[in-house]
Amino acid sequence: MNRPRIRDIFYARQEDIQTLSAALSEDIALELRERILFRMSRVHRMIAISYLLTQVDMRAFQQHLRQSAETRQRLLLLPGRHQTPPGRFQSTGNVDPLFDAIVAGEEELALEMAHQSPETWQEGYEFEDDFYYGRFLHLLLQGGVDSIPARAVLAQWRNAFGQDDPPRLQICEALVSLDDARFEGGFQALLQLREAQFRAKEKESVFLRDPDRYWTERVICIEGLALIRLATRFGISPPPEYPCVPAIVRSL
């Protein structure tokens, strides 16, 4: 296995941003523009984590997470986007940039993305549970734990999955019920599931498609950091520290 140095990732991805930005200045089709912006958001996240790991630069970490979220917002506001049905790059289940905004402390930006995201499931472009997850979080940000629409989406999600109890659903139910124990249990299960997925990707060499993303996001879990922020905001006691959600970042 060829694990790249995080510092190498840092420099290479800075060049990627320049290349992608140049491509956006050309006269290109809407779908290609969406694809580039989608990619740029991911690259900003990789750079953010690289800053954290190589320089412990919290300001740059937050800055690039903010740029990831701003890039997502640009995608959602592209001229002509509403003239065609939402597709893969616009779908509500793409929640990574939302988490980036939350961890960066950009609440207004997170709300803007929530308002601009599709309100319906884009079957064929996203998994149903990913849609429910994103839609619930959007409504939670807009209306808080007492939001009737958020609770309605949560009920639909639970009904769709019956006896299954996926970690993200546990976490979301804990947020509205303000259940510390259930949140911590779901959070632990989420991190275990995440690690199992990384191990599976490594075994199958799936990570070779985007090794830089693999090696940065495996080390720092932005989703976990964002969920802890939401839990704390609504009065839930945060779970213990875990390696991928270190205290130095949780205290931002």
Torsion of CA 181, 183, 184, 189, to 10 degrees: 120
Buried-exposed string 116-137: b where 16+ CB fall within 10 A, e elsewhere: bbbeebbeebbeebbbbbbbbb
> What pLDDT is recorded for position 3?
53
Tokens of 96: 């990574």
> In the predicted model, is pLDDT for residue 60 greater than 80?
yes
Q: What's the rounded mean pLDDT across residues 62-75?
A: 97
> Could you state, in order of their start, the residue ranges of all structural domains in the chain?
6-250
pLDDT confidence tier of residue 2, bands split at 50, 70 and 90: very low
pLDDT confidence tier of residue 113, bands split at 50, 70 and 90: very high
> In the predicted model, is pLDDT for residue 215 greater than 80?
yes
Q: Which residues contact 88 (CB under 8 A, 6 or more apart)?
A: 122, 125, 126
Query: How many Å apart are CA 47 and CA 60, to the nearest integer?
Result: 9
**Nearest CA among 57, 43, 42, 48 for reference residue 15:** 43
Q: Which span out of 54-63, 134-143, 202-211, 239-248 was modeled with the highest average pLDDT?
A: 134-143
Count, residues in the chain: 252
Query: How many Å apart are CA 252 and CA 241, to the nearest integer?
Result: 14
Contact 74, 37 (CB under 8 A): yes
Q: What's the rounded mean pLDDT across residues 67-76?
A: 97
pLDDT confidence tier of residue 9, bands split at 50, 70 and 90: confident
> What pLDDT is recorded for position 115?
95
Q: What's the rounded mean pLDDT across residues 225-233?
A: 96
pLDDT confidence tier of residue 198, bands split at 50, 70 and 90: confident
> What number of other Cβ atoms are within 10 A of residue 115's Cβ?
12
Tell me the pLDDT of the chain averaged across its residues: 90
Q: What's the rounded mean pLDDT across residues 45-64?
A: 92
Query: How many Å apart are CA 70 and CA 41, to the nearest integer?
Result: 8
Query: How many Å apart are CA 19 and CA 23, to the nearest integer?
Result: 6
Using alpha carbons, list the distances in angstroms from residue 190 to 114, 172, 185, 194, 224: 23, 12, 9, 6, 8
Q: What is the pTM (predicted TM-score) of this model?
A: 0.92
> What pLDDT is recorded for position 119?
93
Q: Determine the residue type at 175.
A: L
Give the side-chain half-sphere CA count within 13 A for 161.
18
- Per residue in 77-95, pLDDT tens? 998 666 566 778 999 999 9
pLDDT confidence tier of residue 1, bands split at 50, 70 and 90: very low
Q: What's the rounded mean pLDDT across residues 197-210?
A: 75
The phi and psi torsions of 197 (rounded to 5 degrees) equal -65, -40
Q: Determine the residue type at 115.
A: H
